[in-house]
């Protein structure tokens, strides 16, 4: 089988895909960042049936009906027009092939704030900070795919991710960075940010810190 990972980044999923298609299959990674492509190519250098290309997801450099499966993960939040990427994924996927798209709904972020002031600041941060074109795209993937008439048999899987560790929320889900961006974008003041972080740290010490966010995966089959 031929499989493409659109927006593959540093290629962390390419070896897993290669193990699924085995040596007789073909895996392609595609990313718009030259740095990510170089990193992914270095990581995949020992796997001859894996290649990584630098290209735009709205202009995938393959013929129609080339791939048996096409996936992207956490890509659509970064593109101005998700429908253009989905249409291109459909174009390069064979009839009967599968498409799978995964993304986050950043606006679904919740934190177990216990004070009104903390909740006010937290709401401003999680809803007011602009850091990508489509922060809530996760919840809209099914709608985008259903508008494409060639995708049928849609399946959706939703997960509520959570952590009770502030470090994980900062590292994996950009919580601290979003707070800093809120100050830079004048969504909150520097004093608000300090108050917010102090409350988060206090909750973690007390064992009451909980952060949640929703992740969605929608897959479908290409029809004639």
Rounded Cα distance, 224 and 119, in Å: 50
Residue 18 has a pLDDT of 95
**Count of C-beta atoms within a 10 Å radius of residue 131:** 14
In the chain, the number of structural domains is 1
Residue 79 has a pLDDT of 94
Instruction: Let me know if residue 31 belongs to a domain.
Output: no
Structure tokens at 53: 């290309």
Residue 149 has a pLDDT of 87
Residue 198 has a pLDDT of 95
Residue 168 has a pLDDT of 95
Instruction: Let me know if residue 38 belongs to a domain.
Output: no
Strands 211-222 and 151-163: antiparallel
Instruction: Let me know if residue 100 belongs to a domain.
Output: yes
pLDDT in tens, the chain (224 residues): 999 999 999 999 999 999 999 888 999 999 999 999 999 999 999 999 999 999 999 999 999 999 999 999 999 999 999 999 999 999 999 999 999 999 999 999 999 998 999 999 999 999 999 989 999 999 999 999 999 989 999 999 999 999 999 999 999 889 999 999 999 999 999 999 999 999 999 999 999 999 999 999 999 999 98
CATH code of the domain containing 177 = 3.40.50
Residue 106 has a pLDDT of 95
Residue 65 has a pLDDT of 97
The whole domain housing 177 covers: 56-222
- Tokens 């030259």, residue located: 34
Instruction: Let me know if residue 42 belongs to a domain.
Output: no
pTM of the predicted protein model: 0.93
Instruction: Let me know if residue 198 belongs to a domain.
Output: yes
Instruction: Let me know if residue 25 belongs to a domain.
Output: no
Instruction: Let me know if residue 145 belongs to a domain.
Output: yes
Residue 47 has a pLDDT of 92
Instruction: Let me know if residue 23 belongs to a domain.
Output: no
- Tokens 């259903």, residue located: 146
Picking from 21, 19, 44, 20, the residue whose alpha carbon sits closest to that of residue 29 is 44
Residue 22 has a pLDDT of 85
């Amino acid at each position: 089988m031929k499989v493409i990972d659109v927006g593959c980044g540093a290629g962390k999923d390419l070896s897993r895909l290669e193990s699924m298609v085995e040596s007789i299959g073909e895996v392609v990674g595609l990313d718009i960042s030259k740095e990510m492509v170089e990193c992914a190519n270095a990581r995949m250098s020992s796997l001859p049936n894996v290649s990584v290309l630098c290209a735009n997801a709205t202009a995938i450099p393959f013929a129609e009906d080339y791939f048996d499966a096409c996936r992207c993960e956490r890509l659509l939040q970064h593109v101005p027009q998700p429908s253009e990427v989905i249409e291109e994924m459909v174009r390069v996927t064979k009839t009967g092939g599968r498409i799978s798209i995964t993304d986050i709904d950043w606006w679904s972020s919740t934190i177990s704030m216990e004070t009104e002031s903390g909740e006010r600041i937290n709401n401003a941060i999680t809803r007011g900070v602009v850091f990508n074109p489509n922060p809530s795209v996760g919840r809209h993937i099914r709608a985008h795919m259903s508008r494409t008439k060639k995708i049928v048999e849609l399946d959706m899987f939703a997960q509520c991710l959570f952590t009770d560790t502030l470090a994980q929320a900062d590292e994996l889900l950009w919580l601290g960075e979003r707070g800093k961006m809120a100050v830079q974008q004048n969504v909150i003041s520097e004093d608000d940010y300090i108050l917010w972080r102090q409350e988060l740290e206090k909750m973690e010490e007390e064992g009451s810190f909980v952060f949640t966010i929703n992740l969605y995966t929608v897959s479908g089959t290409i029809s004639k």
